[in-house]
Structure 1
Amino acid sequence: MGRYSRLRRIRRLDPQQDFERIYRWIIHYEFPRDYLHGTSIAFLRDYGVPRISRLLDHTQEFERAGQKRYDDTVLITYEMVRAGMDSEHGRAAARHLNRIHGRYRIADEDFRYVLATTVVGPKRWIDRYGWRRLCEQETESLALVGRRMGELMGISGVPDTYAAFERMHDDYEREMFAYDPANRRVAAATLRIMAAWYPAPARRLASRTALAVLDEPLLEALGFEPEPRWLRAAVHRALRVRAVLIRLLPGRPERFPRTPRARTYPFGWTLDDLGPHWAHSRPTTPLQDETPSEQGRATGQLSPPSP
């Protein structure tokens, strides 16, 4: 397959109708690694908000089982879109995600921001360091997947265009970014997870490389000093060289989609594996567009009797 063959196909599609198909091409074929890099940066951006990082710090999940927490967050998104978000499996993944979040009191504006980072973060990373920029159809598909995900999670006021997601993302950060000790603790735990992917002698450099791609408002909110200018320039050049080399490769064949490498699950996973251990003791609740009987049929369970 030619390097731009899939892009030509994407440009002929209508994102309003084909956004899930386009999204799967982005994450499995066109930009699988870059999408994950952008998502990793999105995780770090969440920690610039004290209200979010204090909750994460309180759960201690990144300290106790950081790699699993990272893997589960990535994988549950893939599970929601794997067979389509409105498929039986996609809706089961959404109910499971809602069950996990249901334990905590989380404001809708925080939910909207975290969702926005998963739309804006990958887009900005790919445009800066990918082998090409996202086209208009791909950009809007990211936003439409984000919107549908927000609907399944029962979040109100979710934007329906990329431009609206981006405005909300940037406005929220200007208002809410502030330093808090919890920000640094959760960010440091996440950086340790990322550094552990590399051999021991390279781990310090890996952490510094991750910090070198972060902007100064985020670094300030996390409590980290900016890396030296020479290191930031070197990392930027290395990533741009990588993009050029990838551009020279042929497109990934349809029969070889790239899926996330889940270090927690070397032999594969099921939806029930994802999330903290206590999640499965909590009942699931119907999605906003479901009745209890519809949920029961989808999960193979009987709905509770009416009072």
Structure 2
Amino acid sequence: MNIHDTQAVSRHRQENTHPEDWEATFRNMALFDLAADMELGFFLSYYRNFAIPSIASTLHSNAEIQERPMKRSYDTAIVIYELIACGLDSERGREMVGLLNRVHRNVPGSKDDFLYVLLTLLVVPIRWTQKHAWRQPTTAELAAAVRFFSELGSRMSMASVPRTYAEAEAFFDAYEAAHVAPSAEGQRLMDTTVQVFQSRLPAPLRPLAKQIISTMLDDDHLTAALGLPNSTRASRAALKTGLAVRNTISRRRPLKKHPHFTPGKAGSSLYPNGYSLDQIGPVNVPHSPAARSNELS
């Protein structure tokens, strides 16, 4: 399969899906065709919350990130990937939605704060793929992603969740313009969480962790609020070159046949042998009986 065939097959399949197959379309985007870039986008979305002083204050007072930074980071990713892989209305999906509702039940914040947190998971990964992925996301993929997070928001009793990607972007940008600012709590959360990223880097690159994150975020106002160093011409060039090489290789390879994530078996130093659903989430939040009885398959 040559470079043009790979792109054409992927784009054609994803563009010609039925609108009511939105969950499968988004699943294929996030777990197969654009999996690596969607993961990077989800990774970057996690940090943006620390740049909002009201959200950072809530997260800091909870102390979960400071006490268990690796667990909070991995569990956040596992929850969203469980929902994508299994479906919102699957048994495992309902457990994860229930966990999200229990975690947020008594959390202070405005409806716009909660909507912003949800939309970071939509807008940030999409923008990353539009700018850096081996191919552009299709119109059908954008619609499917919006529908996925709109449905998730509805299951979390959120009102006024955007129904189009343009509406989501407009809310996201207006919210950040009004609320991104430095805070001591946000910078402490950032400093704590950087350790998790460092642990995943090769040893020679670990001292550059903050610089790498800053370059990937590519937003001076945001990185200043997070207490990160400015990106440099050299770091931007290195990122651009590295992604260009990766994308050239990706375009010449056959499409992925195995998903980026397998429920219950996500490999990490935290869950090296897999996990059951009752292990996921803050230690002080109770799980439902179904989650407690859920065993690894």
Q: TM-score, normalised by structure 2?
A: 0.89
CA–CA distance in structure 1, aligned partners of residues 142 and 113 of structure 2? 22
Does the 8 Å contact 1:71/1:263 carry over to 2?
Answer: no
Runs of 4+ with >4 A deviation: 298-301
**Which residue does the alignment assign to 1:228?**
232
**Which residue does the alignment assign to 1:292?**
none
CA–CA distance in structure 1, aligned partners of residues 109 and 281 of structure 2? 17
CA–CA distance in structure 2, aligned partners of residues 81 and 29 of structure 1? 12
Does the 8 Å contact 1:184/1:223 carry over to 2?
Answer: yes
How far the C-alpha of 1:198 sits from its partner, in A, is 2.1
How far the C-alpha of 1:270 sits from its partner, in A, is 1.8
1:28 to 28, 31, 38: 31
What secondary structure sits across from 2:201 in the alignment?
coil
- % same residue: 30
How far the C-alpha of 1:82 sits from its partner, in A, is 2.7
CA–CA distance in structure 2, aligned partners of residues 35 and 170 of structure 1? 20
Does the 8 Å contact 1:35/1:126 carry over to 2?
Answer: yes
How far the C-alpha of 1:266 sits from its partner, in A, is 1.2
How far the C-alpha of 1:20 sits from its partner, in A, is 0.5
In the alignment, residue 239 of structure 1 is paired with which amino acid? L
In the alignment, residue 217 of structure 1 is paired with which amino acid? H
2:214 to 174, 192, 211: 211
Residues 1-307 of structure 1 aligned to structure 2 (within 5 Å):
3-4=6-7, 5-15=9-19, 17-214=20-217, 215-253=219-257, 256-259=258-261, 261-280=267-286
CA–CA distance in structure 2, aligned partners of residues 129 and 218 of structure 1? 19
In the alignment, residue 26 of structure 1 is paired with which amino acid? M
CA–CA distance in structure 2, aligned partners of residues 112 and 205 of structure 1? 32
CA–CA distance in structure 2, aligned partners of residues 7 and 221 of structure 1? 37
Q: TM-score, normalised by structure 1?
A: 0.86
Residues 82-123 of structure 1 show CA distances to partners (whole Å, capped at 9, x for unaligned) of 332122332222111111111322321111001111001111
Structure whose CA Rg is larger: 1
CA–CA distance in structure 2, aligned partners of residues 143 and 92 of structure 1? 22
What secondary structure sits across from 2:160 in the alignment?
coil
CA–CA distance in structure 2, aligned partners of residues 133 and 190 of structure 1? 30
CA–CA distance in structure 2, aligned partners of residues 115 and 49 of structure 1? 14
How far the C-alpha of 1:218 sits from its partner, in A, is 0.5
Note the residue ranges of structure 1 that are not aligned, 5 or more in a row: 285-295, 302-307
What secondary structure sits across from 1:213 in the alignment?
helix
CA–CA distance in structure 2, aligned partners of residues 252 and 204 of structure 1? 33
What secondary structure sits across from 2:169 in the alignment?
helix
CA–CA distance in structure 2, aligned partners of residues 76 and 95 of structure 1? 11
Task: Out of 90-99 and 229-238, give the one that drifted further.
Answer: 229-238
- How many positions carry a matched residue from both structures? 284
How far the C-alpha of 1:299 sits from its partner, in A, is 8.3
CA–CA distance in structure 2, aligned partners of residues 176 and 229 of structure 1? 28
In the alignment, residue 147 of structure 1 is paired with which amino acid? S
CA RMSD of aligned residues (A): 2.1
